[in-house]
Amino acid sequence: METYTAMRHFADSWGLLAMTAFFVGAVLFTLRPGSKQTAQEAADIPLKDD
């Protein structure tokens, strides 16, 4: 049961911090100034004729 307790404490502290940092990074990556053109191109993919 010692391993379970150690993993639980790790997930409660550093795991939460890592998930929060990943979320903030994903939001900042999505909302960066240069991403508008890339997002528009991706949104237009279904409308393009082959």
Q: Give per-residue pLDDT as tens, 10-47.
A: 888 898 899 999 999 999 998 888 888 888 998 999 99
How many whole angstroms separate alpha carbon 20 and alpha carbon 14?
10
Start-to-end Cα distance in the chain: 58
pLDDT tens digits, residue range 30-39?
888 888 888 8
What is this structure's pTM? 0.62
Residues present in the chain in total: 50
